[in-house]
Structure 1
Amino acid sequence: MKSQSEDGFFGPSGDQLTQAILMLTKEFGEYADIMTAAAILSSEQMINRLMGASLNPWIRIAFGQLFSSAASEKTVAGITATASLMFTRFMAKNTLGCFVGKTTLPLEIKRKQMIIFGLDRERRDAVAPLMTSILHMTIARNIASKRVDSGPLIVALDELPSIYLPDLYRWLNESRSEGFCGILGWQNMGQLEKNYGKEVAKTILGACSTKFVFNPGENESAQLFSSFLGDEEIKYKHSSRSTGGGKPSTTTSEQEKTKKLFESAQFLKLPAGKCVFINPAYANKEEGSVPLLKTIKIGAYADNIEQYNQQKWQKLVKNMALHSTQKYPTQQDLDIRIKEVDRRLPIPQEPVEAGVEALPVDGMRSML
């Protein structure tokens, strides 16, 4: 989730430290996981350990800001505390098992493959950031190049405001040619604007060429959709009678006026299942994306599929749980990682000077 109240210095510095810790954690082989990252961050004299260790040159550069702030204990404490928030929220018995061990998620999503991401409502605040990161990286990887043999990547996001995907508006506008196909759902514009901001929310709405606008249940959203549809011109004839000169006469004139194509109050009165449908394929000789007022009817076939899925779902979940590689880490697992951190990053016996070493030319060549 994006934090709207993130500190201007400690926020970015904490993010940089998080990145550096993750880069270092990947060097721990079979112990490269969240537990090891948390063990590094919580280790005694962490900065002295890191500055005294023989680190990969690129990893040392990633720690550069932390090393340059080593002389200020308060600054270091602020940066470390910000980064620690990212890892400590996962260090709970019931959630840690989801992020430790070998993943079963495919890096390349091929035809007839589906990944279901879900948020545990009880642990949403803890799980959402990492789950969103995994979702973001999965999508970005699979649309990095044009999907020729794999078919389109269909990304269906219900209750969109519950997660924050910073590149979503770019995918919608720029990645259609690579095979990205988004199906988004949200309750009203107020929810979307709260997490994505007003301008980005409008960009997301505009990038979705096909729209199903149901009753938003909120006046501002209804007004937005009403203005989005625009006005229509109405021509009518006006007749007036006069009795001047003792003879009655009738005068007829043609007048025009405009009115909202669909008033905001009409949106708020839409019953369940009825919506305004907009699609570029519905057009006439003069206009495209002509809006239609439709009642969405679910056929018996689709209804039968839903009932079948509900009957089989729990059985499927239990069967997959039996074959799951997920394990609940124990105190022994944490102790092993703490010992591994102590072995790889021992506390130096002599004082270590603060600062960042320049990246040696030989070290740079070895990485290229």
Structure 2
Amino acid sequence: MMSSYSSDVKGGGRGGMTPTPTKIPKHRSRSLSSVSCGSLHHGRGCCAGSSLERLSFLRRSGFRSDITITFPGHDVELKAHRIVLAVSSPVFDVMLYGSMAVDNVLSLPEDPPAAFEWILDYLYCDGCDVPGAHIREQVFRLAHKYHMCSLYHLCSQQLQADVTPLNFSSIYDVAVLVEDEEILEKCERVLLMTDRVLSSPDIVKLSRPALRSLLQHHSLTPSSETIVFQAIINWGCQKLKGKAEDDLRKDVISEGDRLSLRQEVEEFLPLVRFLSMTTEEFVVCVVPSNIFTSQECIAILKRIAGIEGPDLPEVASCEYTRKRKSRPAKESHRQSTEASGDPAAKPPLKRLRGSELKRYSSVREKRH
């Protein structure tokens, strides 16, 4: 039977005498095990068996939440608990408990709501599932931004496993931003399939720094430099579409659009090896874009044809006349095989010379 001690002492007074135990009435002596969770917590459900279940309940219900997360420009509000965010991220620890701590509302104008909501589920529910393809790069960026190490490594491993020529640009973009060497190494292998990477619609998703990094990459080996030029034009047109309602046509554009497009891509044009093109490639693929003036086109064409003429325009100042150098065939085959994930593909066998063949045959005869 449970008992408590009275504040009085035997015989009265405060002489330090042994306290007299006071019996608890029978109707109050029930153990806590006999009290239902519903009577203690009013049916809220927060007496789940495991700590994971209790955290999951807090996430679902918002019970005792003390911070509201908003995303300006989006009609989304998320309830959370300061302590959960703080122990998961040193950045949130400073934001919520530091000298600049907010009151009850945390505004995150730069963060995508769907990705952040996934992160909340991960923090509360100890999720091990990787984020879906539509938000994985966003989750990876946020994990890096808020220094969530375990989530960062989870996303990094997923992106390394999933990179292909079709989604190369979106993954390469975030890898350049956070300087993740492991993802960049995998992207380098996939980049051996340069034509497929540059022709992918995903190319327009590259940020300006990532596009510059890609154009300067030593593994960029297109079959023709026109593919590089067209990728830059596609990227520039997409950027202008985001700034205006009218779509740009990729074949022929107006004078006003020509100037706007040129300003958008001008910093990348000196990285294009125009002199490695044939005159036909330049006339068919470059001239119709109206990126260059007539005088600039004539100057470039004369240099391609080996005819003396005016200097190259500054915007097309690359002097390389050869195509971008490829890696050795054996290494390129090996790395492109690894990038494609085809275990059946093997590098071609080395052809044996006559003397080597005789020596190989004699060794086999001795063994047998």
Q: Which has the larger radius of gyration?
A: 2
Select the structure with the greater relative contact order (CA < 8 A; seq sep ≥ 6). 1
Q: Larger helix proportion, structure 1 or 2?
A: 2
Do the two structures share a fold, i.e. TM-score over 0.5?
no
- TM-score of the superposed pair, with normalisation by structure 2: 0.32
TM-score, normalising length from structure 1? 0.32
